[in-house]
Amino acid sequence: MPTPPPRIRFDRVCKTFPGVRALVEVSFEVRPGCVHAMVGENGAGKSTLVKILAGAHPIGGGSIELDGEPVTIRGARHAQELGIAIVYQEFNLVPHLSVGENVFLGRWPRSRRLGLIRFPELHRRTQRLFGDLGLNLPVQSAVAALSVAQRQMVEIAKALSLDARILILDEPSAVLTPHELGAMFGLVRRLTAKGVSVIYISHRLDEVFELADNVTVLRDGRHISTRPIHEVNRNTLIFETVGRLLDREFPGRGDRRGEAVLRVERLSGRGAFQDVTFAVRAGEIFALTGLVGSGRSSVARAIFGAAPVASGRIVVGDDPGPFLSPRAAMRAGIAMLPEDRKGEGLLLQRPLRENITLAHREDAATLGLLNIRRERRLTRDLMARHDVRAAGTEVAAATLSGGNQQKAMLARWLQRPYRVIILDEPTRGVDVGAKAEMYQELSRLAADGAAILMISSELPEVIGMADRIGVMHEGRLMGILDNADRRVTQDAIMRLAVGEAS
């Protein structure tokens, strides 16, 4: 039997944006019915390539073949007709419509005479689709009532409702808990068993090794390699992605912990968490982990005065909290980098300069009057110190890569010394190279005596970085694991995270 033609053949695909060569003669093949992972740093060209495939960008040069036939993808509609489905990082669901209405958005079955929506038929079709995909979701409830993971399932179902032969998942795991991730992997495997090819973009190498059959590395818009997953290992993948050897993923640090700087005592927030007690010492990295929705971020926000506290105490040095506003928390010496960089951290359309000086713009002002030249100099210094790479101080924050955006957030806060630094998912959406730099920076801050509270769902990162690890489950702190020797196992953390007592 002759081997079937590749599902997709990229042949010398090029794309140029003003000032940037996003893709340079990229050629590789994706086989039918397999999971094809794509890795690379932000800006390596992964998103551009899949956007060309999905019809969001016109191809700049070269050609694409689907199942042996050359195609010219004319737009998003045409890509759908060709059987290419894409699920973007940002969801495109209408929160107040039902699951069924969202899956068939704009393609609702109508009654012949009045053109009214036939809801029973809509729900039947949705149910059938979910049945095929092995999904168990309430078709009639509003999307707003679903968890993030369920919304993602709806988004995937929506993408597949048009009989796709190619499904593109762009960082689908960023918002999922390990358990939900398992369910998504299951769905992906059922799809590949049916012959669908899945292109899987992720920064998390663990997932790539678990799920993918083949892996392609892109760097600076060029194709570096495409190989079966069993022919590569973690280090070669990192090396190819970054283009240089990283010293070590997690920098080592001597134990120089001082006295407790942040003390949280029997803290409860309305509904979100109860009776949380821990302390973070100077020079220590304390990680707070647990499943999404376990209350980790709510605790962080409560400490920073950004969410209400029902009862309990927060003490920073000698300053008694709880703090009524982020402003008050800042005065007490707390800084926080929020989880959702774009939604809660940056002014995306404003210049980088305004973003970096936002929290301490007084430093560039005399009696409330800003000196723009001084502000620019301050920004340039901070950018150099924290290695924020951008085309100047005046570019919009939205134009930076995820890693540089996060470094800009760090630069914003490190303009002044803070005793307590809270980082909520500091490496989400950040590529391998920038991640390593972020870890270096955190280690340096701890070494300089800051108390660091890091919230993270990535267990390798938690274990690699933290001196102690607090694990939350349904709003309660289940236990604190001592990790001074970096020997805590993922298993031990997961047991606490799902509610088993230590």
Binding footprint of other proteins on the chain (CB under 8 A): 16-18, 304, 306, 325-327, 330, 336, 338, 343-350, 354, 358-359, 361-362, 365, 368-370, 372, 412
- Shortest distance in whole angstroms from residue 242 CB to other proteins: 29
Residues 277 and 264: their CA atoms lie apart, in Å, by: 5
198: left (phi over 0), alpha (psi -120 to 50) or beta: beta
- Shortest distance in whole angstroms from residue 262 CB to other proteins: 18
- Shortest distance in whole angstroms from residue 123 CB to other proteins: 34
- Show the tokens assigned to 343: 């939604």
- Shortest distance in whole angstroms from residue 410 CB to other proteins: 13
Given the structure tokens 């992997």, which residue do they identify? 185
Of 330 and 442, which CB lies nearer to other proteins in the complex structure?
330
- Show the tokens assigned to 8: 């997709």
Q: State the DSSP code for 2.
A: P
Please choose, from the candidates 229, 235, 161, the residue with its C-alpha nearest in 3D space to the C-alpha of residue 200. 229
- Residue 27 has phi, psi (to 5 degrees) of -130, 125
- Shortest distance in whole angstroms from residue 306 CB to other proteins: 6
- Show the tokens assigned to 91: 């969801």
- Shortest distance in whole angstroms from residue 72 CB to other proteins: 17
CB-CB neighbours of 137 under 10 Å = 18
Of 315 and 358, which CB lies nearer to other proteins in the complex structure?
358
Of 144 and 398, which CB lies nearer to other proteins in the complex structure?
398
Which residues, in sequence order, are bridge partners of residue 228?
214
- Shortest distance in whole angstroms from residue 305 CB to other proteins: 9
CA 298, 439, 88, 340 torsion: positive or negative? Answer: positive
Of 412 and 473, which CB lies nearer to other proteins in the complex structure?
412
Q: Which residue type, as a one-letter code, is found at position 441?
A: E
- Shortest distance in whole angstroms from residue 322 CB to other proteins: 16
Name every residue whose Cβ is closer than 8 Å to that of residue 446 and which is 6 or more positions away in sequence: 253, 283, 284, 285, 452
- Shortest distance in whole angstroms from residue 361 CB to other proteins: 5
Q: Which residue type, as a one-letter code, is found at position 282?
A: A
Of 224 and 330, which CB lies nearer to other proteins in the complex structure?
330
Of 283 and 429, which CB lies nearer to other proteins in the complex structure?
429
Of 110 and 331, which CB lies nearer to other proteins in the complex structure?
331
Of 227 and 350, which CB lies nearer to other proteins in the complex structure?
350
Of 122 and 329, which CB lies nearer to other proteins in the complex structure?
329
Q: How far is CA 210 from each of CA 168, 205, 206, 450, rounded to the nearest angstrom?
A: 17, 9, 6, 36
Residues 276 and 77: their CA atoms lie apart, in Å, by: 51
Q: Cα 53 to chain center, whole Å? A: 22
- Count the alpha carbons within 13 Å of 395 in the hemisphere toward its beta carbon: 15
Q: Note the residue count of the chain.
A: 502
